[in-house]
Structure 1
């Protein structure tokens, strides 16, 4: 069955989503903090201006001629530094009466327009030195004296922007560290969150490798139902397959006796009828053998917990073959690491190797060589003989049920067909080629795994 490709990494999606949400949150928090800090700085700035205005109003008094006098002047250094941007003025409609030393000028000029009401106003304008200034201005009236004047106090806007930019830079550095902290925390959180899925995958792999029959691990509540459903599916599948194998065995016993009875009656029939009946009985036996073998395979191939030692199996098979073909004095050798294992049923492995090795021994002149290699989860078995081999155009016929390329040899013609069925059900492959010995070479690829003493039950 063709498997669909992964649509993406769940870990990557969670990481990107979490990081994106965290980044947006940090940006929003930064903007809010900068806005609050800017409002705080402006308020503190305005308080300095208001305090200076209150000092000037408190120092103002009138003489007998109703001329405005200042009892004292501000001693704040920034209002005395020339063109510092920290200015104050007291003026009326005709002239500037007083101004700060920072507005050093031989001909004082009003910094802003006359105010019509006594409301405290906040204004921004460009000062005499080209600076952007923020100022407060208010009209101060003395009804008893029928007199009034205007007071203006200003400061450079750069003081506000510099403080805000400094705070913004410090905040950016701090939030960058927080972002890195978030990123590390996200990685750790995802690693912890993915551990149950990793254990789940390992448990399923253990079933596939033949090390377990079900998923028996502790899982969080989100995976509890999934674990139960998979275990129920495995149990249900095993029960169905076992029932199928039992039915296949019952069918074999049910057909065995009728076929034997009919074969025993062949000598009593005329020659032509006996031959016809014999041919039909042979076809029936072949058909029964094929379908029973496939029914048995359908059960055994799903016994996921099975794990067989290939070296031990080959040792036993070659010993049997040496006895069977003792009269021909064949050399039978194999090369396989002791830990090479087949992930499947032992009977299937015996059927596979037994059929191919037996076929090789029938046709070999002097020797049969077997080489086994395990590469991760793929088991590769090469079986070569020095017999006549099979022509390339005839190799596919060898896998057909009942097909015998040489009628002089004994057999039903089902060997390689059954081998191909077993290989196919294990999602493996089988190919025929001309061996280095000059005869037929058979290469099998099957699911494999490293086998240990505990796995084999020794």
Structure 2
């Protein structure tokens, strides 16, 4: 306690200070608060940090005094630090609980959507035809609409097949009449011209009808074909067709190779390639099927069907020419020239492609890339 209104300051202190004195907060420039006190930290006699509260007191005639009370601040620091630890632990525990709750909600709340995703993947790969099973009330409408969409797709495909068949019969009959009438007047230049153009029309009609038929069939989901047995059956068939040329056809197919489409389409694509290879090969044709499996999970595999022959091969210009519809390098060879064009169109409808290059055997290499299962 310090008297501040006398010429000589009188200081009275507790025995804990002995002969020491406490610094004044007023001398440190700390202003009074609204409650009329000063609060701050000062250095104690032993060098420790003290928390101090200082207040001026006016006792009227008895004088004016400045009263200061201080205590060891380490206790306050310890309490504050303990509270910080407690608060930090509480928030950490709360964060862990919230994180676990979120993971639980996402894992179990979205589980039905994962089931639907897996079921749709099974439909695309041919392992299933519809979404089956019980779903929560919120997800059930999605499953019903998906099944309805699959059914509608099948109906559209069936109608398209019917229309394609009807169109084929409707066009073939008039064309046959034209060809027959023109053939009956073969000596007439006009009839020869009509016959030539009718043959071209027949090839064009065959091409576009075939493409329409293929497009209708490709849209059907859920069909899967084992590649190795299909290739082996083709090999035997082609050896019989070309047995007069003594062509040796060798095949090597991955037993795990599966094609997400109809067997007829795979036979048509590979059959055209093998047939062309047999026509140009000197003595040997090689067929190889390779499955490329992606590194990332969820991505589909790829099929590479490679057909090599030991013929004369083709230049870059010739390879570009034979890929066009109706183009043939040698008119003496049988065929309409639509084979490779149909392969290109059919592969594109399945999301694949056909590339031509040089084979290690010296002839032509035809590589068909298709999606796998």
Q: Same fold (TM over 0.5)?
A: yes
Aligned twin of 2:30: none
Residue range with higher mean Cα deviation, 275-284 or 128-137: 128-137
Deviation at 1:153, TM superposition (A): 7.1
Superimposed CA distance per residue, residues 405-435 of structure 1 (whole angstroms, 9 cap, x where no aligned partner): 1111121111111111001111111111121
**1:103 to 2:17 alignment:** yes
Aligned twin of 2:297: none
Which of 357, 367, 372 is matched with 1:443 structurally?
367
The correspondence of residues 331-346 of structure 1 with structure 2, limited to 5 A, is 331-346=248-263
Residue range with higher mean Cα deviation, 261-270 or 370-379: 261-270
Relative to structure 1, is the Cα distance of residues 124 and 437 closer, same or farther in structure 2, using a 3 angstrom cutoff? closer
Deviation at 1:182, TM superposition (A): 3.8
Relative to structure 1, is the Cα distance of residues 99 and 396 closer, same or farther in structure 2, using a 3 angstrom cutoff? same
| Residues 4, 64 of structure 2: 8 Å contact kept | yes
Deviation at 1:176, TM superposition (A): 3.1
**1:371 to 2:295 alignment:** no
CA distance in 1, matches of 2:173, 2:167: 11
CA distance in 1, matches of 2:44, 2:94: 44
Relative to structure 1, is the Cα distance of residues 160 and 269 closer, same or farther in structure 2, using a 3 angstrom cutoff? same
TM-score (norm 1): 0.67
The correspondence of residues 174-323 of structure 1 with structure 2, limited to 5 A, is 174-271=90-187, 272-323=189-240
| Residues 157, 220 of structure 2: 8 Å contact kept | no
Aligned twin of 1:428: 352
CA distance in 2, matches of 1:96, 1:200: 89
The correspondence of residues 73-88 of structure 1 with structure 2, limited to 5 A, is none
Aligned twin of 2:29: none
Residue range with higher mean Cα deviation, 316-325 or 95-104: 95-104
Aligned twin of 1:154: 69
In structure 2, the gaps of 5 or more residues are 27-34, 294-300
Higher radius of gyration, 1 or 2 = 1
CA distance in 2, matches of 1:394, 1:229: 50
| Residues 57, 67 of structure 2: 8 Å contact kept | no
Deviation at 1:347, TM superposition (A): 1.4
Relative to structure 1, is the Cα distance of residues 99 and 157 closer, same or farther in structure 2, using a 3 angstrom cutoff? closer
Aligned twin of 1:359: 276
**1:403 to 2:317 alignment:** no
In structure 1, the gaps of 5 or more residues are 1-88, 114-119, 450-458
| Residues 124, 132 of structure 1: 8 Å contact kept | no
Aligned residue pairs total 352
Residue range with higher mean Cα deviation, 161-170 or 179-188: 179-188
| Residues 96, 110 of structure 1: 8 Å contact kept | no
CA distance in 2, matches of 1:189, 1:442: 52
CA distance in 2, matches of 1:357, 1:153: 106
SS at match of 1:413: coil
Relative to structure 1, is the Cα distance of residues 330 and 153 closer, same or farther in structure 2, using a 3 angstrom cutoff? same
Deviation at 1:223, TM superposition (A): 4.0
SS at match of 1:424: helix
SS at match of 1:156: strand
